[in-house]
Amino acid sequence: MLTFTALGPFQAWSNGAPLDLGGQRQRAVLARLLVAGGRAVPVNTLIDELWPGSPPAQALSTIQGYVSRLRRALEPDRAPREEAGVLVSAPPGYALRAATEQVDAWRFESLVKSDGDPAGVWAAMDTALGLWRGPALAEFAELSWAATEAGRLEELRLIAVERRADAGLALGRATSLVADLEAHASAYPLREEAWRLLSVALYRMGRQGDALAALRRARAVWRDELGLDLSAGLKRLEADMLAQRLEEPPAAPPAPAGPAAPPAPAVPDSGAREGAAVLRVLVADDQALVRAGLRAMLEVEAGVELAGEACNGEEAITGVRETRPDVVLLDIQMPHLDGLAAARRILSGERPPKVVMMTTFGSDENLYAALRAGVSGFVLKTSDPEQFLAAIRAAAAGDALIDPAVTTRLISAFAGRTDPASPPALAGLSDDRLDVLKLVARGLTNRQIGQTLALPEEEVGVLVKSLLEHLGLFDRAQLVMAAYESGLVTPGTSVAK
């Protein structure tokens, strides 16, 4: 089945395998047609939007060449004179013909705009947010049409976050929502709905003082940024809290275990299972004794189960395709395709599982390369079961856990090397965020960082998320690399206790 992804790196897939879409401008033609949502885009519009202000003399023939090559990539078995069925001619231009389920952005928008009871909305928003893999159309950000569409999709993402939280409050799940809502309100302080949801969640937990304090924070931000007081709706909410007039939600039914709509065929979708009760883990290690130990650990742990086993890299890739686990525990050194190569192939798939590497310090260079490839952390094979389980849960939640010994003995060995993919300089970060970044780079958890800096664990989580947004990064592992590559943390630096 042919599918397209735009909520993150732009790509077309055939039965889960990525297609070669050519160079940047050729890819932009297909992306622009995807943004049109199936409507025709005139050739003149394509020319003007692909070469803003200065199209080449042969722009028309160039566009025609791009379309011809894209058609061959999308429909390789089409006969030479057979009419195209995907990238079609639609005078005076072209259009992309695909079902909603084939395009992640189209399916995402459909889910975000769907209606239903609170349980149905929760499931739909959970599924929609599981499709999001990063900034939409980021590789075309310099083109105005892509920037506009990316902004529209980002607004839909924020709406999905808020609709999910609102449904969760109706279902009685305030406690599990507070940390995410705190981060959401801090990241988007001008959104009225963010503050309403946060204050209501705190109130429902019995934290009336914190709920009112959240509204005071909103008032201070709005006065500083906009010169305005709270909206009428938030003022009414504040008055209702003071008078203790807020209604309690109904008794909470169990959280839905699956998505509201079936996932796109032939595409592994671990993100759509984020609301599921059980995390499924694939174990890949060439040592039978290690696999047996991990299997025994998973069998006795509530909320985690073994999805499958593999004894080499090729088996790991096959196992991911067949079992669709949430997390892969992957030995970095294995026969018949080592762990690094296997991790790269697993992570290059559409909506791949999270990968946590297991190591005994066998290959420093490979470990560094694996971090750059996007794994969700490292665990020493000598670690206790609690460390393995913490890494599995952190990875499944979109976070990362990197053993402190790995960061000090391995990553620091590569400090200072330049890389064109490195994040921007750390200039502009406040001292408190720099302190948090240093401790993240040393492998400390949010709780350990909070204990070190005398901060609530929730506040540490907010600071970590703000660091990711400021640096344009996506996970904790990338923060570690940013700290070392920028020179903020160097080999031998101690961490204050």
Distance CA 296, CA 299 (A): 5
> What count of other Cβ atoms lies within 10 Å of the Cβ of residue 280?
20
Question: For 278-397, which CATH class?
Answer: alpha beta
pLDDT digit string, tens, across residues 48-66: 999 988 888 899 999 999 9
Q: What does the pLDDT read at residue 399?
A: 62
Residue with the larger pLDDT of the pair 287 and 70 = 70
The model's pTM: 0.53
User: What is the pLDDT at residue 219?
Assistant: 92
**Whether pLDDT at 409 is above 70:** no
The CATH code of the domain at 105-242 is 1.25.40.10
Q: Please name every residue paired with 359 in a beta bridge, in sequence order, or none if there are none.
A: 380
Residues of the chain with CATH 1.25.40.10: 105-242
Q: How far apart are CA 282 and CA 348, in angstroms?
A: 17
Over range 110-137, report the average pLDDT.
92
Topology of domain 415-497, per CATH?
A: Arc Repressor Mutant, subunit A (1.10.10)
Amino acid identity, residue 344? Answer: R
pLDDT value of position 20:
93
For residue range 1-24, list pLDDT tens digits in order: 999 999 988 999 999 899 999 999
Percent of the chain with pLDDT over 70: 81
Q: Which residues contact 120 (CB under 8 A, 6 or more apart)?
A: 114, 260
**224 pLDDT above the threshold of 80:** yes
The pLDDT value given to residue 426: 66
DSSP 8-class letter at 412: G
String of DSSP letters for 267-331: ---SGGGTT-S-EEEEEE-S-HHHHHHHHHHHHTSTTEEEEEEESSHHHHHHHHHHH--SEEEEE
Say what the pLDDT of residue 152 is.
Answer: 92
Q: Is the pLDDT of residue 272 over 60?
A: no
How many alpha carbons lie under 13 Å from residue 133 in its C-beta half-sphere? 26
- pLDDT score for 3: 95
pLDDT band at 370 (very low <50, low <70, confident <90, very high): low
pLDDT, residue 247, reads 66
CATH code for residues 2-100: 1.10.10.10
> What pLDDT band is residue 384 in, cutting at 50, 70 and 90?
confident
Mean pLDDT of 83-109: 93
Does 252 score more than 50 pLDDT?
Answer: no
Residues of each domain in the chain carrying CATH 1.10.10.10: 2-100, 415-497
Model confidence pLDDT, tens digit, residues 425-461: 566 677 777 878 888 877 777 877 877 777 788 888 8
Structure tokens at 493: 């630096």
pLDDT, one tens digit per residue, over 175-210 is: 889 988 999 999 999 999 999 999 999 999 888 899
- Whose CA is closest to 350, among 107, 94, 78, 85? 107
Q: Are 40 and 67 in contact (CB under 8 A)?
A: no
CATH 3.40.50.2300 range(s) for the chain read: 278-397
